[in-house]
Amino acid sequence: MKKEQKPYLIGALASVLLYFLFIRRKPSPEEQEAGQLTQEAAQAGSATYPNSQFYAWATVLEEAMFDLGTDEDSIIYVFSQLRNNADFLKLKQAFGTRAYSGGALPVWFNEDLTLEGWLTQELNSDERQEVNSILASRGITYRI
């Protein structure tokens, strides 16, 4: 190989490597879900509240389910404030995935769960049915 061909070969190899690392990379499941949520939210219409309210409610929900015990009244309150599918999707998007330990496990046993995952872990079937009834009464088609 000639000395003047070496830089071209290195450049070609670097280009191929970059192509496979960045351009052909498939989105992670979290990125796929975020994209799907954004698309569903666009189809659902406009939200009733500003984004800051959904982030505040997401924090209220996390605090209601964090550690031992569950504050069901806070959960019911938040879901009773939602008015349409766009509101539900914005809340779900604001909650995202958060580390869940169930309150009794050490931090290294945490698993990342979505809003539905947290609610499934924390609420019994009657409580989930109550949340779903609230959603249905508001014409929201999503269920926990």
pLDDT in tens, 34-78: 666 666 655 667 899 999 999 999 999 999 998 788 999 999 999
For residues 99 and 92, give the distance between their C-alpha atoms in angstroms, rounded to a whole number.
15
pLDDT in tens, 84-140: 999 999 999 999 999 888 766 555 667 889 999 999 999 999 999 999 999 999 999
- Amino acid 68: pLDDT: 80
Domain ranges of the chain: 27-137
Q: What is the pTM of this model?
A: 0.70
Q: Which of 143, 122, 126 is nearest to 75 (CA)?
A: 122
Express the helix, strand and coil content of the chain in percent, nearest 5 each.
65, 5, 30
Which tokens hold the place of 99?
């580390």
76 neighbors 132 (Cβ within 8 angstroms): no
